Structure 1
Amino acid sequence: MTEIFITLLEFLLLLAANILIGALGFIPSFIMTAVNIKSFGLQGGAALTLLGEIFGALAGFHLYRYGFSKAAPSWQRHRFWNFWHGQPDSRVFKAVILMRLLPFVPSGLVTAGAALTNIRAWPFMAASTIGKVPAVFLELAAVYGFVQVAPPVLQYAAFGAVLVFIAWTWNKRRLETSETE
């Protein structure tokens, strides 16, 4: 009974971490995919990764939409905003699917772009899911192969290198932003 509780707790904590990373949209999700596979095997890891991607995108969509609603009204008169805001939902739906299928388009950019439009949350989630499924399976295949072949020391080194790169990039942007103010 205790083992089942611990496994469930681990699953829920990993799911929350996956959703957070999906909502932020700029942290590479393959890090969590590796953790998911290590913790729950290929099938359980796939389920965790897919659920995290789907609900993370939905959470990010709501966060971006909320943030955009608080932006200065002058920003909303920009022609980029007007172009996207005026697109029909069907076009946005198709664009989200297409952008999710492209492997190197940042997830946060797609989510933020959709949040600029009038598309409702559930059609966004459906389009996002349709586009993410193939991408997630490609990611799972690559990460699973890496986890199976690479020794743990190399896995930890790769994980550390990604974290250092993210921290360096974040710090560099923060410094550039403070210099321009």
Structure 2
Amino acid sequence: MSLLEALSGQPFWIAAIISLAVSIVIAIAGIIPSAFVTAANIVLFGFFWGLVLSTLGEALGAVLSFILYRKGLKSLSGKIGSIKGFKLLEKLKGTKGMEAFVLVLVLRLFPFAPSGLVTLAASYSKIGTWAFAASSTIGKIPALLIEAYSVHTVIGWETQYQLAAAIFAAAAGICYYYWTTKRKKRR
């Protein structure tokens, strides 16, 4: 884990800044899972402070990517088609106020809604930056708690069980990729 190696020799505040920067880059990219950063944070900072740092990093990353998406992608809105496959994401694009707040919150709680797509759809909506920041962060907390607890538990496993879990996760990911690719080709 290169992030873990980069952070382990640093003073606390430098390691925290590096972790936040990596979380922000991951959020802006929109497709990279943040579980590895959460794992590194828990190993280095302990469960509580690792969770706090992961929450802060994901919140900052979501807000910054929201702002960047809104500025950059609004000009391309006519060229970018609809977000197919997630009806709630389509609905979010046309909402504002409390409805947009609740929709972002629900989508952040929903484990299979890709974070980058939620942020992208929200950037097209009429939700304000502060409302997005609040609803996105509140919605991320339960997911991060589950992720952090899972990572904390797996870290406590013996190496052979960790390896077996990694192989299973990789196999499941490959199967999912091929299943979705085959499904798209049928359409």
TM-score, normalised via structure 2 length: 0.72
Aligned counterpart, 1:59: 64
Shift of 1:126: 0.5
2:111 is equivalent to residue 137 of structure 1? no
Shift of 1:68: 1.3
2:67 is equivalent to residue 32 of structure 1? no
Change (3 A) 1:148 1:57: same
Q: Distance in 1 between matches of 2:90 and 2:109?
A: 25
Q: Distance in 2 between matches of 1:85 and 1:153?
A: 43
Aligned counterpart, 1:16: 21
Aligned counterpart, 1:71: 76
Is residue 108–residue 140 contact of structure 2 (8 Å, CA) maintained in 1?
yes
2:159 is equivalent to residue 151 of structure 1? yes
Change (3 A) 1:150 1:99: farther
Shift of 1:76: 8.3
- 1:24 partner letter: A
Q: Distance in 2 between matches of 1:142 and 1:25?
A: 22
Shift of 1:65: 0.8
Query: What does 1:52-131 correspond to in 2, within 5 Å?
Result: 52-71=57-76, 73=78, 75=80, 84-131=92-139
The structure richer in helix per residue is 1
Unaligned runs of at least 5 residues, structure 1: 170-181
Shift of 1:89: 1.9
Query: What does 1:158-173 correspond to in 2, within 5 Å?
Result: 158=166
Unaligned runs of at least 5 residues, structure 2: 1-9, 178-187
Is residue 22–residue 57 contact of structure 1 (8 Å, CA) maintained in 2?
yes
- 1:33 partner letter: T
Shift of 1:26: 1.3
Aligned counterpart, 2:180: none
Q: Distance in 2 between matches of 1:23 and 1:62?
A: 10
Q: Distance in 2 between matches of 1:152 and 1:84?
A: 44
Aligned counterpart, 1:172: none
Is residue 76–residue 82 contact of structure 1 (8 Å, CA) maintained in 2?
no
Change (3 A) 1:46 1:106: same
Shift of 1:63: 1.6
Shift of 1:130: 1.3
Aligned-partner SS, 1:149: coil
Q: Distance in 2 between matches of 1:127 and 1:10?
A: 27
Aligned counterpart, 2:6: none
Q: Distance in 2 between matches of 1:150 and 1:33?
A: 19
Q: How many residues are matched?
A: 162
Aligned counterpart, 1:176: none
